[in-house]
Structure 1
Amino acid sequence: MEERIEEAYELKKAKYQDLADVYRDRGWRTWIFTVEVGCRGFPSQSVWTMF
């Protein structure tokens, strides 16, 4: 299993949360889908959830 996948998920989600909030305030429906793939090619659980 790859290391830091959960941390990468939280960092990416926080990075784009403000942008998603701006567009929600404008009446758009927005979702944040993060995709984390480790250096050895292991996709995280969020990839399978997104699909």
Structure 2
Amino acid sequence: MGLVMLAVFVPILAVGLYFARRQERLNRAMDALDDSRREAGYVGPNLPGPF
């Protein structure tokens, strides 16, 4: 029974960890950019022009 539980939950945990690390790398890359998207009042994409 223990091996069946491992066979079910280890792959789920591995996929979750993979995507968590990928998201963390993306967050660090976005933080490294010097843009104003995280300023107070940001509500959408920074689009040029009269939108």
Bin of the TM-score, shorter chain as denominator length:
0.3 to 0.5
> Using CA pairs below 8 Å that are at least 6 residues apart, which structure has the higher relative contact order?
1
Select the structure that is richer in helix.
Answer: 2
Structure-1-length-normalised TM-score: 0.36
Structure-2-length-normalised TM-score: 0.36
Query: Larger Cα Rg: Structure 1 or Structure 2?
Result: 2
